[in-house]
Structure 1
Amino acid sequence: MQERSGLVTMKGNPLTLTGNILKVGDKAPEFEVTDNDMKPAGLSTFAGKVCIISSVPSLDTPVCDMETRRFNTEAAGLGNDIVILTISMDLPFAQKRWCGAAGVDKVVTLSDYKTASFGSAYGVLIKDLRLLARAVFVIDKKGIIQHIQIIKEIAEEPDYKAVIKAATGLV
């Protein structure tokens, strides 16, 4: 497993990411996560759709909360060909509770808590914390990565406009 230090920071302190190093044009790796009903899910679950995958440290933190609510709002205008997934290490029960309380019903929340399959496959697993870094991947209908944002400072939000533009340009 590859390690990269300093690609992301928390309050300015460098963190170490582990996992694959992906780039635009790569085939998006399959992964296995758990949905809010405790069933397995993965990239293949959303085959044939443009996928915006947003990885966040925890839905129960202010920036992750804002980001997921924003993507939920954006999802309303994207149509059926685009799906937005938010993946975190939060337990599926906590994700389901958070979505209900936040009124998030258009973003699919998935948990990587069991094996860190997504974090390792996409190179966003924070070694020291066993949380996911804040990152966004846009994957086309054929399973090719078309856009990547790994957010440098974990407390900052992604460039939503660039993500939405990348995704809508693939439909």
Structure 2
Amino acid sequence: MQERRGIITFKGNPMTLLGPDLRPGNPAPDFRVVDNSLAPVTLRTYEGKIKVISSVPSLDTPVCDRETRRFNEDAARLPENVVVLTISLDLPFAQKRWCGAAGIDRVITLSDYQDRSFAESYGVLIKELKLLSRSLFVIDTENIIRFVQHVPEVTEEPDYDTVISAVQGLL
């Protein structure tokens, strides 16, 4: 598996991302994750929709909490043909509990805990931490990646406005 250094840090320490270096224009790789009821979900599940995929280390951390709440607010203002997915290695039961407590109703949380299929296909598995990096992908209705953002420091929030602008450019 490809190893990439110099892309992200965690608390200032350089980390290694495992997997491919996906870029705008690349076909979006398929993946298999599970939803909060353990049902399998793939990229094809959202066929014909614009997809915002936010990978996060864990919903139970302050930055991931803020990020997912913010995207939940943003998603409420986007058309129905846009889906916002947050993927982590958190167990589906923990994701469901967190979403209920946080009032998340527009972001769909998905877990990659079984196979790390998304992590390895999208190049967001942090080798040293065995967690997902804070990364964002905007994928068009034809499953082509149109935007990628790897947040340079895992403990910082993404550039929300740039992500939403990328989505709006596809509408």
In the superposition, the TM-score normalised over structure 1's length comes to: 0.99
The 3-state SS of whatever aligns with 1:27 is coil
**Per-residue deviation, 1:17:** 0.6
- Tell me, yes or no, if structure 1 residue 51 matches structure 2 residue 51: yes
Query: Aligned runs of 1:41-80 on 2, under 5 Å?
Result: 41-80=41-80
**Per-residue deviation, 1:128:** 1.7
How far apart, in 1, do the equivalents of 2:94 and 2:164 lie? 27
Partner of 2:141: 141
Partner of 1:31: 31
The 3-state SS of whatever aligns with 1:120 is helix
Amino acid in the other structure paired with 2:137: F
Partner of 2:4: 4
Partner of 2:131: 131
How far apart, in 1, do the equivalents of 2:42 and 2:154 lie? 24
How far apart, in 2, do the equivalents of 1:127 and 1:68 lie? 23
**Per-residue deviation, 1:106:** 0.3
The 3-state SS of whatever aligns with 1:21 is coil
Residues 146-165 of structure 1: CA distance to partner in whole angstroms, max 9, x if unpaired? 00000010011111111111
Query: Aligned runs of 1:81-100 on 2, under 5 Å?
Result: 81-100=81-100
**Per-residue deviation, 1:12:** 0.3
Partner of 2:121: 121
How far apart, in 2, do the equivalents of 1:127 and 1:163 lie? 26
Q: Point out where structure 1 has 5 or more consecutive residues left out of the alignment.
A: none
Amino acid in the other structure paired with 2:139: I
**Per-residue deviation, 1:6:** 2.5
RMSD: 0.6
How far apart, in 2, do the equivalents of 1:89 and 1:142 lie? 27
Q: Give aligned-pair identity as a percent.
A: 61
Query: Aligned runs of 1:152-171 on 2, under 5 Å?
Result: 152-171=152-171
Structure 1 runs of 4+ aligned residues shifted over 6 Å read none
Q: Point out where structure 2 has 5 or more consecutive residues left out of the alignment.
A: none
